[in-house]
Amino acid sequence: QSRIARLKQIEAMEADGTFEVTSKERS
């Protein structure tokens, strides 16, 4: 469930345009 919540959080951030920042953190 936390994995799904994480994906939804990423989608929400992507909508805000902060997905690039998340990608750098995950790399």
What are 1-27's pLDDT values in tens digits?
Answer: 799 999 998 888 788 776 666 566 666
Count of domains observed in the chain: 1
Rounded-to-integer distance, Cα 15 and Cα 1, Å: 21
What is the span of the domain harbouring residue 7? 1-27
pTM greater than 0.75 (yes/no): no
pLDDT of res. 6: 92
Residue type, 24: K
- Are 22 and 13 a contacting pair, CB within 8 Å? yes
pLDDT of res. 14: 80
Vertex 1, ends 7 and 21: CA angle to 5°? 25
pLDDT of res. 18: 64
